[in-house]
Amino acid sequence: MKLELQIKMNPSLYIRDPEQSELGKNIIKHSIQLIHDNGFEAFTFKKLAESIGTTEAGVYRYFENKHKLLVYIISWYWGWIQFQLNYQTNNIKDPIVKLKKVIKLLSTNVEDDITTGHVDESQLHQILISEGSKAYLTNHVGKDNKQQFFQPYKDLCNAIGDIILECNPKYKYPHSLASTIFEMAHLQNFFMNHLPSLTDFSKSKNESEIIKYLEDLVFKSIRE
């Protein structure tokens, strides 16, 4: 038996579960590829269908619209990060070491994980940097939230918040600091590569400087 990591997805995100068919998996795979290559604005179901070798109507049978598809893949990433977080901090006792792992996990462009066949985690990380906030920065965020679309993100911030509280139980802003780490791990990366004068990192360098910045920010914030 082949072991494949399955991230549990919110069924309201799709019409037909893309994990359950080849076409479905292809939709996810090629969506990630296309959004990574050309950005979400340029992404259309027609282009996606062409790239897979199916028709537009075929894609619409899986996803209502391209926004839900974006939320689906970003949701998948949130779930995957949650899994990695649990896995990587599993046997660690020192919360400071745990928090460092988290910062590194969020900031680092991971290599593609073989246990998830149709998802390229490296491209997905890039998508989160450029498109991640578009999942919630919409007019219908309230509706989407009612449908629990952002639950995996909340769970993640809760988990990170718990580690922060383990480091310092008196720290007042564990959730805000968690969402700040998550968002800034991505945004400082975007700035580093595209608008470097908004950062103190040299363009096209690797993520180690961002990690140092975030560690400095976080550990100074939570020390008593």
Partner DNA sequence: TATTTATGATAGTATTACTATTATTTAAAA
Partner DNA sequence: TTTTAAATAATAGTAATACTATCATAAATA
State whether the Cα torsion 175-210-152-37 is positive or negative.
positive
Q: Is 45 in the site for DNA (CB under 7 A)?
A: yes
| Cβ atoms of residues 182 and 156 within 8 Å | yes
| Cβ atoms of residues 173 and 191 within 8 Å | no
Site string for DNA, 15-44 (x = CB under 7 A): -x----xxxx-----------------x-x
Stretch that binds a copy of itself, among 39-47, 49-57, 77-85, 86-94 (CB under 8 A): 39-47
Beta carbon of residue 124, minimum distance to a copy of itself (angstroms, whole number): 16
| Cβ atoms of residues 51 and 142 within 8 Å | no
Site string for DNA, 54-93 (x = CB under 7 A): xxxxx-xxx-xxxx--------------------------
Residue 58 interaction partner, one of DNA, a copy of itself, none, beta carbon < 5-8 Å per kind: DNA
**Torsion of Cα atoms, 175 then 182 then 152 then 48, to 10°:** 160
Q: Is 1 in the site for DNA (CB under 7 A)?
A: no
| Cβ atoms of residues 98 and 92 within 8 Å | yes
> What is the separation of C-alpha 49 from the centre of its chain, rounded to a whole number of angstroms?
24
Residue 56 interaction partner, one of a copy of itself, DNA, none, beta carbon < 5-8 Å per kind: DNA
Nearest to 189 by CA among 113, 130, 101: 130
Residue 101 interaction partner, one of a copy of itself, DNA, none, beta carbon < 5-8 Å per kind: none
State whether the Cα torsion 91-121-82-94 is positive or negative.
positive
Nearer to DNA, 62 or 191 (CB): 62
The two most distant CA atoms of the chain are separated, in Å, by 59
The Cβ-side half-sphere exposure at 5, using a 13 Å CA radius, reads: 18
Provide the binding-site residues for a copy of itself, judged by CB under 8 A.
38-39, 41-42, 130-131, 133-134, 136-139, 141-142, 145, 150, 153-154, 157-158, 172-180, 183-184, 187-188, 190-191, 194-195, 197-201, 213, 216-217, 220-221, 223
Residues of this chain that bind DNA (CB under 7 A): 16, 21-24, 42, 44-47, 53-58, 60-62, 64-67
